Amino acid sequence: MHIKIYFNDKPLFLTDEITPEIEPYAHHDDAILIDEFSTPGVNSMIHEMRLAKIHAGIFLHSNLAELEKTFRKKFTLVQAAGGLVLNDAGEILMMLRRGKWDLPKGKLDPGESLETCAVREVEEETGLHTVLLEKPLIVTYHTYDESGKHILKESHWYLLKAPGQQALVPQSEEQITELKWVPAANVKQYTNNTFPSIIDVLQAGGYL
C-alpha cells in the first residue's frame, strides 16, 4: 500500500513496500530513496523533492500510517473535492483551465461534506444544473506554497453523471475558458497537457 504526493509534477511515494508501480522509480538516478524513519529523514525528503534535479521520491517505512501522520504535520491541510463527470453517451467532461486540461474541483466550505462539495463545484464551474453523484474514485495529494505556508491539498474525486441535454457554461472567474464532452476513446489525447493527478483520476475511473 502507498500514498502518492505530488510536488509539482513529481511523485513522492510514502509506502510500506516497493510495489510494481513504485519499483521502476527505485532505479532512477534522479530519484531519492529514504528508508530510515526519523524527523530529520522526513525533513530531508521534503527538501530533496523541491530540488530541480530530483524527479521522484520513495520513503519506505513499515508503518505507513505513522509515516503519513508525520508528513502531514509538516503541512497545512486543505481539502477539496471534484468529479469525473459523464453524460448519457458516456463522454467525459474536460475543461481547459489556465491553458491545461483539467477536471472540475474546488475547496471544501466550512461544515460542507465532501460529496456536497464535489457536486457544488462541478455545477459552479461547468454550468450544469443536475449532477448525480455515483461513487468515490480516488484521493489525490499535491503540495504548494501559499502566503508563506506549505500546503498539502487533499482532493477527493467522485464519479458523477450529468443526465439529459444540459448547457455548458465555463466559470470565467476560475479562468476556465473551454468545456468539452470527450468520447472515452479519445481522452488519452488530452493527457499530454494535463496534470499527473488528473491522469490518476482518469485511470481510477477506468478510462486510461
Q: What pLDDT, in 10s, does the model give residues 2-44?
A: 999 999 999 999 999 999 999 999 888 899 999 999 999 999 9
Could you tell me the residue ranges of all domains in the chain?
A: 2-72, 78-204
Tens digits of residue pLDDT in 77-121: 999 999 999 999 999 999 999 999 999 999 999 999 999 999 999
117-121 LR contacts (CB < 8 Å, sep 24+): 117/80, 117/81, 117/156, 118/81, 118/82, 118/83, 118/156, 118/157, 118/158, 118/160, 119/83, 119/160, 121/80, 121/81, 121/82, 121/83
Q: Output the CA torsion 97→102→104→107 (10° steps).
A: -80
Grid cell 454550468 in the structure block, residue: 127
Residue 122 reports pLDDT greater than 90: yes
Q: How confident is the model at residue 147 (pLDDT cuts 50, 70, 90)?
A: confident
- Which residues make Cβ contacts (< 8 Å) with residue 100, sequence separation at least 6? 193, 194, 195
- Fold classification of 78-204 is Nucleoside Triphosphate Pyrophosphohydrolase (3.90.79)
* DSSP conformation letters of 30-75: TEEEE---SHHHHHHHHHHHTSTT--EEEEE-S-HHHHHHHHHTTS
DSSP secondary structure of 76-127:
EEEEEEEEEEEETT--EEEEEETTEEE--EEEPPTT--HHHHHHHHHHHHH-
pLDDT confidence of residue 204: 97
- A 10 A CB-CB count for 35 gives 11
pTM: 0.94
pLDDT of residue 80: 98
